[in-house]
Structure 1
Amino acid sequence: MSAPSTEQVHEQHPQREEVDGREAADLLDVVVRELGGQRREGQERMAQAVTDAVRARRHLLVQAGTGTGKSVAYLVPAVAHAVHRGSRAVVTTATIALQAQVVDRDLPRLARALAPALGREPTWELLKGRANYLCRNKLDGGFPEEEAALFDVAAPAGDTGAGDAGRLGREVVRLREWAGTTRTGDRDELDPGVSDRAWRQVSVSARECLGAQRCPVADACFSERVRARAREVDVVVTNHAMTAIDALEGSGQLLPEHDLLVVDEAHELADRLTAVATAELSAGVVGAAARRLRRSAGLVSDALEDAGAALEAALEDAAPGRLERRPAALSDAVAAVRDAARTALTDLRTATEGAAKEEDAEARGSRHLARAAVQEVFAVAERLAADSEHDVAWVSAAGPGGRAPSLHVAPLSVAGLLRERLFTDRTVVATSATLTLGGSFEPVARSFGLRSATRDEAPWTGVDVGSPFDYARQGILYVARHLPPPGRAGLPDAVLDELAALLEAAGGRTLGLFSSRRAAEEAAAGVRERTGRTVLCQGDDRLPRLVRRFADEAATSLFGTMSLWQGVDVPGPSCQLVVIDRIPFPRPDDPLMAARARAVDAAGGNGFLSVSAAHAAVRLAQGAGRLVRATGDRGVVAVLDPRLATARYGGFLRESLPGFWATTSPETARQALARLDAAASAPGG
């Protein structure tokens, strides 16, 4: 598979008056000087590419390696565009860490630096989901309490309390006290925090919210105030989940009107939209809606309860996995749930219309909660009953803790949704350190709907601005070709021996990335036994605390699963070895991924490469990217899966990785690690 040029330019729209390249370069220089930084070629190229894309109203895909300074590179032209045009730019990120960096660090300093050149200081707002804010109506009794008499419980003087009930009561009392002083109502500003269970007593989800038109205290609503401010600022910062919900519900439902959307960590966008568009139906959910209907609205729906029981029986008899041919009993049960929920909604509407006008706020809130619960059941059941060729449905097996089997439905592809809901009526800049697969932007462009066999292509450009790091000199990619291919029976002794030898040569200093929690725990135990070294494992403590200890203690290693593949940024000698146990393909029994691969095959493509290998390539690149986080970093990425060197698809995966110097020699890898350990351990090292 030949790698195309890193710049793939498609048909452009006519230019309009905008920030030009010279002005963007000058503004970037101003910001870099203000931040005390140095000019970076990749950052300058990226800022220029964003400027050109905005001027041409052409979508842009930018791969920018770690250390490029990509947030400043896109913020400078985005802010200048918003100020000059009197329009608005939205920046969406996948992780809380990057969102905080943009809002708390980058934008304040950038705004101060640009104010003289732009004529005023740019403005911004952080926009979160409703459940992140206190609900005034719920605090005032506008909704039924989730726990009996919780708000009437005061912690007795001197009570240090034992047991969940006492702790929950004290947390809720503290929340009510905080509600009287907070200016934002934002949960993240509460320090120390409270449990999720306590927070639910004072917040509502988007589904439960009455809405600004019906809420009696809408004028004092924290969430509505943030949304109002977001309609007035130059830049709105949000997350992929909010962006996905806005796309599904229709533009303007959550995000304010904007003509420029910057998607950072864009490799996560399609998966986040898939997650938001995935729905679940179970007997428990149906039963909860029926109970809510009875308790909150005084309506008894025998039909809904009976349909829930039928669904439970049908799910118990159904085989787990994708529903290519649905059992008649399951189809009938889903249809019964749909019909019963529709009837319950009609009955609820009639009861609401006949309610007395002087009815109190809690009664109105109770009926709203009942309506929301039943409406959700109806919507999912109706979608499942439609059995659309554009959806994939499957049954999940019963799980630990008494979890019952349930039905799931997800879109076969989100490319069309992205194309129609995000990549229309605005310019989109999508950026990530891992945006090319196998050296090409084409796979990501297709996942965004920018490639279509039946419609004109949306204009887009792909640019790889490189990285300030010299990967070939700073890192080694070691593939353990001599090891056995990974299996399902756990980690063999040969793999544990290899891992222990590498970690010993590195003097600890190892981040282990594993495909499952079981594998991480097995590896941690095996290495501790073989070396006697300290190996932290995900689950031993809260993850931020584990990462801090790993960074502070050079001889300590940290093993874990997917949370570590993207979320760890530890420059310096504490992380000189990154170990990946196996190529992170999706599970072979994942019904959605299997259905997507089959659809690609049916269309004449290669489903394995387009779905499974593409998924693995992004995860592998993210994991390998944990090694080099600064210009002085040195180390080894060790992949203990020989298929990366021996399989036909290995070349595609290696093309997606940073350009490390490659070897299959275990001696070479261990010797390099030993030298690095000696240098780091030396006085002044």
Structure 2
Amino acid sequence: MAEIPDVDTLLDAAVRALGGARRDGQVAMAEAVATAIDTGEHLVVQAGTGTGKSLAYLVPALRHAMAEDTTVVVSTATLALQRQLIDRDLPRLGAALAPLLRREPTFAILKGRRNYLCRHRVHGADTSDPDDTELFDPRQLSSLGRQVKRLHEWAEETSTGDRDELVPGVSDLAWRQVSVSANECVGAAACPFGQECFSEQARADAAGADIVVTNHALLAISAMQGYQLLPEHRVLMIDEAHELVDRVTSVATGELGERVVAAAAKRAARLCEADLTERLSESADGLALVFADAEAGRLDHLPDSLAGAVAAVRDSAHACLTAVRSSANGEQDPDHAARRKQALAALEELHDTAVRVLESFEPPLRERRDVVWLAKGPKHAPTLHVAPLAVGGLLRERLFGDRTTVLTSATLALGGSFGPLAAQWGLGRESTGPAAASSGTGTGAADDAASGAEADDSHTSAGEPRWRSLDVGSPFDHARSGILYVARHLPPPGRDGLDPRYIDEIAELVEAAGGRALGLFSSMRAAAQATEELRDRLDVRILCQGDDSTGRLVEEFAAEETSCLFGTLSLWQGVDVPGRSLQLVIVDRIPFPRPDDPLASARQRAVGARGGNGFMAVAATHAALLLAQGTGRLLRSVHDRGVVAVLDPRLATARYGGFLRSSLPPYWGTTDPEVARAALRRLAAAPVPG
């Protein structure tokens, strides 16, 4: 260890080489991460925008990897964030620190197998996807054919097979024709292209790298399904940790519908007797008939008709599985092996999901660990979903149990406490006693939000991982740079679109700001309504999500200073526009989950059944997290100034309002509309910085 400089020295060298300045929060975080690695305690760090948190965890991670000749895994929420780390942050850091390290550091990116082109699928005789093509009209199929032809040509040029490197991209439908999931892959040993496999090459590169960058979805698959997808590692950095629960829940959610059953039957048709696949196809028809008469929403009890339909799927899938498993008969043809593996993957997933749905209803309501619901809509085929009520037990056992984990984000302390999210992660109560700096424990509403937040865990202290927290703050002076304006005079939001008084309020704020507004709405219906009404009323350009790709709209909004951008969920977390183009963030209502959201309502009820405050633990925590993310769009550099306008008066009047406000950046607050408008007019009239 003595041969490599300490973390403080390495951080200073990196900051100087990258043209930055020493930041107290960044130094505190780096030291805390290093301490966590040394002690083995998990660390939860809130680091506001502008802190430089990537360097703060990458420097101690890299030092540990090289000193111990091991691999550290970094997980991010999205593939885009993966690319930012691997294409920009890590190469620059490696070049800066190479003179102080024993050797040049190495980095690798690792994604799920479906993100890499499969050479066997490209060169195989059968590249059709039976669950897709028959549903599209000839024009769509013609477009699909052109895209697949382009993918075949790209396959001869690419050195990585990584979908992200194909520009412009192709549709998901086209990509599925040339890729396979982990369950469908025949394995390198059996595949005629095993020595040239892009996915296997990515894993080989990752096996020897100092830092491996992956995403939360692959992390969840590795933890839940027991696959050895990631290199052996004892230290894990989770960036954008506020998204971890949702990503893990998504991976752990099963789906059952007519289309997926019919597709599995088609995959099995060449490999087992016709009467078996006919039974499976008939079970798909039966499922569709039952779905047609069933009400959408959460299912607390399984009707006999639906139970019978799901049992028929389970039994017919099991019969096909047995037949396909015995169909190998020493067959060595790789194309046959690929078809068999794909059929097995589809049938196993179908069978296991059906079993899971049926077993979800066996325990008494209070003891259930899964929630089941039927989703129906004009644009989506009816589908039965089954999802875990909580993932904390899984994370505690398979993620935190045998490694040191650092979880970080700009938004983790809700209601002034790390407790609500820690409870969802399965971490339990924070360790006490001397160690890395801690933010302390929450009180009041934050305690209510943390209380009972895990629906399936007893939270006995003996089984809880040891962890500490740290809030390193932000370099921004929020109280001087931003105003939080709550429109207390408006009526509470209704269910029938935006009240005309809300439209008037938005118009007055946008006029005062001269455009420069990001409108964050709770639904696309509200965003579209505001866009339509204000385009006729205001002399500024209003862009609306859905008019073009979200990325392109954000670029146009940033480039045209007096424009506005209105939209919904993806804009709450995905917009980074520093400067004069964004001086007003408008939030139409507190983003609680919909009352009929099946998963959120079931989780809320489960928390209440255990004696906790279900509303605070689920609905208020969800809203606080989104509000903190959305209002954080305002200040993206130390020079930014502006107003966050929340039109929902409940933020000022409701009992839970204090919990929500204490989850937000510490802006200066007002409920006076003229104060907000005057500030916006002054900002709009200010001279452009030279």
TM-score by length of structure 2 reads 0.91
Partner of 2:440: none
8 Å contact from structure 1 (residues 212, 224) kept in 2: yes
Partner of 1:91: 74
Partner of 1:396: 374
Partner of 1:117: 100
Matched, 1:214 2:190: yes
Equivalent position to 1:37, from 20, 26, 51: 20
Partner of 2:556: 549
Partner of 1:100: 83
Equivalent position to 1:444, from 421, 425, 430: 421
- Return the letter of the residue paired with 1:73: A
Over 3 Å counting, the alpha-carbon distance change for 1:147 and 1:345 in structure 2 is: closer
Q: CA deviation at 1:180?
A: 1.6
Output the CA distance in 2 between the equivalents of 1:420 and 1:142: 43
Partner of 2:390: 413
Output the CA distance in 1 between the equivalents of 2:288 and 2:404: 47
Matched, 1:524 2:531: yes
8 Å contact from structure 2 (residues 371, 602) kept in 1: no
Partner of 1:259: 234
Q: CA deviation at 1:309?
A: 2.8
Partner of 2:613: 606
**What's the RMSD between the two structures over aligned residues?**
2.0
What is the 5 A alignment of 1:217-366? 217-250=193-226, 253-295=228-270, 299-301=274-276, 302-353=278-329, 356-357=331-332, 360-366=333-339
- Secondary structure of 1:125's counterpart equals strand
What is the 5 A alignment of 1:370-381? 370-381=343-354
Equivalent position to 1:649, from 656, 660, 682: 656
Deviation sequence 1:299-321 (CA, Å, 0-9, x none) = 44233233323322332333222
Output the CA distance in 2 between the equivalents of 1:572 and 1:190: 32
8 Å contact from structure 1 (residues 297, 367) kept in 2: no
- Return the letter of the residue paired with 2:299: L
Partner of 1:428: 405
Over 3 Å counting, the alpha-carbon distance change for 1:295 and 1:18 in structure 2 is: farther
Output the CA distance in 2 between the equivalents of 1:437 and 1:124: 34
8 Å contact from structure 2 (residues 183, 341) kept in 1: no
Partner of 1:368: 341
- Bigger CA drift: 92-101 or 501-510? 92-101
Partner of 1:153: none
Output the CA distance in 2 between the equivalents of 1:170 and 1:319: 40
Output the CA distance in 1 between the equivalents of 2:170 and 2:302: 44
Output the CA distance in 1 between the equivalents of 2:3 and 2:302: 56
Over 3 Å counting, the alpha-carbon distance change for 1:380 and 1:464 in structure 2 is: same
Over 3 Å counting, the alpha-carbon distance change for 1:142 and 1:83 in structure 2 is: farther
Equivalent position to 1:562, from 566, 569, 579: 569
Equivalent position to 1:382, from 355, 363, 382: 355
- Secondary structure of 1:549's counterpart equals helix
**Structure 2: gaps spanning 5 or more residues:** 429-457
- Secondary structure of 1:345's counterpart equals helix
Count, aligned residues? 649
- Secondary structure of 1:531's counterpart equals coil
Matched, 1:76 2:55: no
- Bigger CA drift: 505-514 or 538-547? 538-547
Partner of 1:67: 50
- Secondary structure of 1:376's counterpart equals helix
Partner of 1:493: 500
Deviation sequence 1:304-363 (CA, Å, 0-9, x none) = 23332332233233322222111112122222211221111111122223x644xx3322
Deviation sequence 1:258-279 (CA, Å, 0-9, x none) = 1111000000001100010011
**Structure 1: gaps spanning 5 or more residues:** 1-16, 151-161
Output the CA distance in 2 between the equivalents of 1:454 and 1:439: 24
Output the CA distance in 1 between the equivalents of 2:40 and 2:238: 16
Output the CA distance in 2 between the equivalents of 1:293 and 1:96: 33
TM-score by length of structure 1 reads 0.91
What is the 5 A alignment of 1:531-680? 531-679=538-686
Partner of 1:504: 511
8 Å contact from structure 1 (residues 134, 187) kept in 2: yes
Output the CA distance in 1 between the equivalents of 2:529 and 2:590: 18
- Secondary structure of 2:326's counterpart equals helix
- Bigger CA drift: 664-673 or 454-463? 454-463
- Secondary structure of 1:194's counterpart equals coil
Q: Aligned residues: percent identity? A: 58
8 Å contact from structure 1 (residues 565, 626) kept in 2: yes
Over 3 Å counting, the alpha-carbon distance change for 1:448 and 1:636 in structure 2 is: same
What is the 5 A alignment of 1:44-55? 44-55=27-38
Over 3 Å counting, the alpha-carbon distance change for 1:165 and 1:318 in structure 2 is: closer
